[in-house]
Amino acid sequence: MKQSMFLLVPMLCLLSNLQLQCGAVVRLLVPEVVHLEVDSFEDVTIALSAPLQENVLITFNVTYSSQEFPIIELPDLVILPCNSVTPVSFPVKGADVGQVTTHLRTNSSHLNRISHIRIRYMVVHSNVLTIISYIIGWIYFFSWAISFYPQVYANWKRKSVVGLSFDFLALNLTGHIAYGVFNICLFCVPYIKAQYIEIHPNGVNPVEANDVFFSIHATLIMSFTTWQCCVYERGMQRVSLPAAGMLISAWLFALITLIVTIAGQLMWLQYLYYFSYIKLAVTVVKYIPQVYLNYQRKSTSGWCIGNVLLDFSGGIFSLLQMLLQSYNNEEWMLIFGDITKFGLGLISMSFDIVFMVQHYCLYSESQKLNDYKLLNGEYSKEYTSQNGAK
């Protein structure tokens, strides 16, 4: 399906119009996801948004099942009585662990116009594990979200960004902006969301509200750190040619594919995925300049280890959650299907380990030497500002 930019805006209007019309027409209200524990029953409630003059017969078509054997036991049909909007409940049994997607069919001509009504069922080993995994999700979300602050604080305290790689900063900022574009569009733009469901009728939108929040927050903090680099002492540091080349290529790539997309040769959803590829590429290379800078200076001063420790613990918890969820859902695709996310997590954590080795083992001695150099006026401004505050 090809779509040009000029069609996008009318399409968006059309979509919102349709939604308005649906308000006037009758809609079927169903839960999006039903969570069940294995061997337990759950009552699922469906209702009409307005009464109809006829009985409505509803049947379920299983369009996706993660296992070959039955995962849930559903009634064959459900009848919504005429002239009533009272919700109707039916029992569903979780027979085995896994995921099922059902599409709903009705025999009513009033409802047939609305395709793609679906209910997803997720049967897990244990609800307690679901809760633990949910809590772990918040823990790593917060570790990652606050991992930016120690660096900002250290820069402010030293009134200096000497030792913080500008290449890392520039790459990281680009990565977060690119990921932000991807997240915001997939989460907020109805046209893009519809395209996602059209291509993955049994899939789940990969972007959640906290992903959107994380991206915006990270971009703001990174921009603030960039501003710090403009106003604080920075020595001879600047963005290197290779890094600048990479950034320019990334944005040129985004621009060229944008033109191709506007020309109708590429789907908007595919275009957005290119932004997530930029983020992936950035994640692989972004720490290399910082490792090299530390190595050159034989010191990690200026590069905040708190940031590394928080990033590392976030990574551990995210890995733990992936394992827990995979077991609880019997869905190892979370790890092996999403190998990029898994691999990227491992790459980031390996770099964190390199930084810890640099900070606590390799250069911890020269750290003291550095303090000595400070006393001898090598970084006189840093020295006076630190001591002036005392």
The residue among 4 and 61 lying less far from ligand NAG, judged by its C-beta, is: 61
Hey, what are 285's tokens?
């290379």
Shortest distance, position 79 Cβ to ligand NAG, whole Å: 5
The residue among 49 and 61 lying less far from ligand NAG, judged by its C-beta, is: 61
**16, 40, 55, 223: residue in contact with ligand NAG (rule CB under 6 A):** 55
Give the gyration radius of the chain's Cα atoms: 27
Q: How many CB atoms lie within 10 A of CB 310?
A: 22
User: Closest by alpha carbon to 58, among 32, 83, 35, 29?
Assistant: 29
- DSSP letters of 179-229? HHHHHHHHHH-HHHHHHHHHH-TT---S--HHHHHHHHHHHHHHHHHHHHH
Q: How far is CA 322 from CA 141, 317, 326, in A?
A: 14, 9, 6
The residue among 79 and 369 lying less far from ligand NAG, judged by its C-beta, is: 79
Q: Is residue 57 involved in binding ligand NAG (CB under 6 A)?
A: yes
The residue among 109 and 296 lying less far from ligand NAG, judged by its C-beta, is: 109
Shortest distance, position 102 Cβ to ligand NAG, whole Å: 9
Q: Segment contacting ligand NAG (CB under 6 A): 50-58, 226-234, 238-246, 370-378?
A: 50-58
The residue among 29 and 79 lying less far from ligand NAG, judged by its C-beta, is: 79
In the shown chain, the binding pattern of residues 2 to 41 toward ligand NAG, with x for contact by CB under 6 A and - for none, equals ----------------------------------------
Distance CA 72, CA 92 (A): 7
Q: Segment contacting ligand NAG (CB under 6 A): 17-25, 100-108, 325-333, 380-388?
A: 100-108
Shortest distance, position 65 Cβ to ligand NAG, whole Å: 12
Long-range contacts of range 317-323, CB-CB < 8 Å, 24 or more positions apart?
317/136, 317/139, 317/140, 317/143, 318/140, 318/345, 319/345, 319/349, 320/136, 321/133, 321/136, 321/137, 321/140
Distance CA 154, CA 152 (A): 6
Residues paired with residue 104 on neighbouring β-strands, in sequence order = 60
Q: With DSSP H G I counted as helix, E B as strand and the rest as coil, what are the percentages for the chain, rounded to 5? A: 60, 15, 25
**7, 20, 54, 87: residue in contact with ligand NAG (rule CB under 6 A):** 54
Q: Is residue 49 involved in binding ligand NAG (CB under 6 A)?
A: no
Q: Is residue 63 involved in binding ligand NAG (CB under 6 A)?
A: yes
Shortest distance, position 55 Cβ to ligand NAG, whole Å: 3
Backbone torsions φ then ψ of 28, nearest 5 degrees: -100, 125
Question: How many residues lie near ligand NAG (CB under 6 A)?
Answer: 9
Is beta strand 33-37 parallel, antiparallel or unpaired with respect to 118-124? parallel
In the shown chain, the binding pattern of residues 103 to 132 toward ligand NAG, with x for contact by CB under 6 A and - for none, equals --x-xx------------------------
The residue among 56 and 250 lying less far from ligand NAG, judged by its C-beta, is: 56
Please report, as residue ranges, which positions from 67 to 86 form the binding site for ligand NAG (by CB under 6 A). 79
The residue among 105 and 125 lying less far from ligand NAG, judged by its C-beta, is: 105
How many helical (H) and strand (E) elements, i.e. helices and strands, does the chain have? 15, 9
The residue among 27 and 298 lying less far from ligand NAG, judged by its C-beta, is: 27
> What is the binding site for ligand NAG (CB under 6 A)?
54-55, 57, 61, 63, 79, 105, 107-108
